[in-house]
Amino acid sequence: MSSTKTRVVILGGGFGGAEAAKRLAKSGRGEVEVILLDRHNYLTFYPLLVEAAVGGIEPRHVVVPLRSYARDAFRMGEILNVDLTGKQVRFQASGSTEPTEISFDHLVIGLGSVTRFPNIPGLAENAYELKSVADAIGIRDRAIALMEQANECRDLEKRKQLLTFVIVGGNFTGTELAGELQHFLSELVDGYPNLKKSDIKVIVFEHGKRLLGAMSERASAWALKTLQDRGVEVHLGSSVVEVLPQGVRTETQEWVPAESTFWTAGIQPSPLLKNIAGLPLTERGYIKARADLRVDGYDNVWAVGDAAAVPMPDGKPFAATAQNAVRQGPQVAKNILSSIAGKPLENFEYRSLGAFAVLGGYKAAADLFGLNVNGLIGWLLFRGAYLSKMPTFALKLRLSMDWFLDLFLRAPTVQIGVHRSRIPMPPAAQEPTEIGKGH
């Protein structure tokens, strides 16, 4: 290594990794060289992704440039593997055809999670996920394309199938998607001469006994009633056993014709983790971490966010939430600096202040400081909270404008059409199909 500084390499510019990079770049200036690696040059602000898909937010306003966290530290490309004992990260920089090795003194793993598709016939091939801005744009474009088709369709059964949207999983993402989608489609339908509101059907299947299982019972009951009042069909204690392009089969063998099925029922850690030799993993594949965020068995390898199983004081792992990841980032940075200085490390401790679920139409459920507030007040609290959490002033302003205009303007019935562009992107490092092969 040419530099005499301690080099900290951070894998993944999500809530955990980006915050760690920001703090290290600021507090560790002079003694630490930070390198932040990600395949995208932005952080996806997931809590607002449903609204970016079918609500009032412009999709570009829910991504935060990673260079706004640590301008000089960021490098874009694909992380291929890590040699923990040799202290090297194998990385394919954007546009390059050959991987390079990046050495580290300390490593922070913040590679996040991916959607978990269990072994349900047809699920992985035919269901859609909501895990990126591209997915958000895709959902919106698809919904509008189906509206156009349905407007042309004379066959009433087929029209019904085109306008039925199935959501499997009724925790935060599924419940929010059901509420926002129903609201969006009901506004949209007025623009189509051959369609009426009753042609649209949004159906939620939730395996558990209530929606929003991670929120209070009052929030769940309110969300259920709000969705049902709007015409959303909610099936609790129920799931699907087969997914086909034309519909889903339920546990009770009922066939539901639907051209769009969304899977919002679970995550798993980044698939790269299981290829990293010597990385201790739990049974479900999460990184075994200690309360001070060091990975079990290592003093220079750290883990944050969804990928890490960080124990709470009662031994259970912290939930995979942005709330936790965004606080683990600065904590890991502090502990790395303490470790370099030979000072004692601090355990990560945080008690969630609450949670929100926004259902569209100026309504949200809010559990805050042990209290539950729903409806318009919940929605105002939600907007205030997320506005304060948006990292840059420019994005705060853009987001405020989106929300303000959404009070007066209807959603435009246009497809953004990005999927049809003939303008090629410069060659980027591709996500390999078999990550880490050969190592």
- Contacts with ligand FAD, residue ranges (CB under 6 A): 12-17, 37-40, 46-47, 49-50, 78-79, 110-113, 130-131, 172-173, 270, 272, 305-307, 320-323, 325
Q: How far is the CB of 319 from ligand FAD (least distance, A)?
A: 8
The contacts of residue 225 (CB under 8 Å, 6+ apart) are none
Q: How far is the CB of 369 from ligand FAD (least distance, A)?
A: 16
Q: How far is the CB of 7 from ligand FAD (least distance, A)?
A: 18
322-341 and 15-27 helices, crossing angle to 10°: 30
For ligand FAD, the closer of residues 169 and 361 by Cβ is 169
For ligand FAD, the closer of residues 66 and 203 by Cβ is 66
For ligand FAD, the closer of residues 41 and 186 by Cβ is 41
| Phi-psi sector, 368: left (phi>0), alpha (psi -120 to 50), beta | beta
Residues of 194-223 as b/e, b for ≥16 C-beta within 10 angstroms? ebeeebbbbbbbbbbebbbeebbeebbbbb
Beta strands, E only, 354-415: 354-360, 363-368, 371-375
For ligand FAD, the closer of residues 41 and 250 by Cβ is 41
Whether residue 223 contacts residue 357, with contact meaning beta carbons closer than 8 Å, is answered with yes
Q: How far is the CB of 181 from ligand FAD (least distance, A)?
A: 13
Q: How far is the CB of 53 from ligand FAD (least distance, A)?
A: 9
Q: How far is the CB of 331 from ligand FAD (least distance, A)?
A: 13
Return the closest-CA partner of residue 263 out of 186, 165, 355: 165
Q: How far is the CB of 16 from ligand FAD (least distance, A)?
A: 3
For ligand FAD, the closer of residues 17 and 99 by Cβ is 17
For ligand FAD, the closer of residues 93 and 291 by Cβ is 93
Residue 408 φ then ψ, to 5°: -115, -25
SS3 content of the chain, % helix, strand, coil (to 5): 35, 25, 40
For ligand FAD, the closer of residues 41 and 149 by Cβ is 41
CA distance 128 to 137: 12
